[in-house]
Amino acid sequence: MSQVEPRLGRVIAVVPAAGIGSRMGASMAKQYLVLGQQTILAHTLDILLNHPEIAQVVVALHPQDQLFAQLPQSKHPKVTTVIGGGERADSVLAALEHITTEHQGDDVWVMVHDAARPCVRVADIDKLLASRDSYPQGALLAAPVRDTMKRASADGTVATTVCRESLWHALTPQIFNAQQLKKHLAMALAAHVAVTDEASAMEWAGMQPGLVQGHSDNIKITHPDDLPLAGLLLSSQGR
């Protein structure tokens, strides 16, 4: 697939993959669990590497990672690796340091995507990339909350029902200007702000990222039950 000329600036994907995925209860990091014919991370990388508007994919790895080099995708010419940190935000910042050093003065957008979200659709990535016209401050894929939401008390009972109107599930990818995201993410971490995703760092800095509605099947594999569900979703997508 030929790469198209970037109209709104070069796009580089960042995949933080330095976590150990302890909630899966597996003997290895969850991104290396097998889903169908290959690992979760391999499926995720395929969707990014095959997109014509993504010029490069930077993967942040655990310093002791010995599995990534065994993936066929690790040899792809678009792939670069960096050493990640203890938290997701640290890994993203490490990738941003590499990107902004390598592309000084360039108009670069970074599209951060969870390693454990292999079911993202190409159409949703296309929508997010196109959103740069409407949201030059950056944007994220998200899905409206459909279920009744409850806030719990400390004893595990219902404290209150939360109105779901205007509530969205934050998904990935999330896309922002590389220099701006690096600046605000570094400042938020220095201020000991709880950065749960890239959008939260931008919000802390006073920005209002755009919400781009994506499909709710863009699930994050977190618990063992998510693995067979992800397999069904990939199969339904013809992948």
pLDDT tens digit string along 145-178? 998 889 999 999 999 998 888 899 999 999 999 9
Measure Cα distances from 23 to 20, 95, 102, 199, 222 in Å.
9, 25, 35, 24, 6
Nearest to 113 by CA among 41, 185, 25: 41
Q: What is the pLDDT of residue 223?
A: 87
Q: What is the pLDDT of residue 26?
A: 56
Q: How far apart are CA 47 and CA 1, in angstroms?
A: 12
pLDDT tens digit string along 200-218? 999 999 999 999 999 999 9
* Mean pLDDT calculated for residue range 41-70: 96
Q: How far apart are CA 218 and CA 192, in angstroms?
A: 30
Residue that is written with structure tokens 């409407």 in the block = 134
Where do the structural domains in the chain lie, given as residue ranges? Answer: 10-234
Residue that is written with structure tokens 């939260």 in the block = 200
pTM: 0.91
pLDDT tens digit string along 102-140? 988 778 999 999 999 999 999 999 999 999 999 999 999
4: burial class by Cβ within 10 Å (0-12, 13-18, 19+)?
exposed
Contacts of 207 (CB under 8 A, 6+ apart): 137, 138, 180, 184
Q: How far apart are CA 50 and CA 231, in angstroms?
A: 20
Confidence of residue 67 (pLDDT cuts 50, 70, 90): very high
Three-state secondary structure call for residue 164: coil
CB 92 within 8 A of CB 14: yes
The CATH classification number of 10-234 equals 3.90.550.10
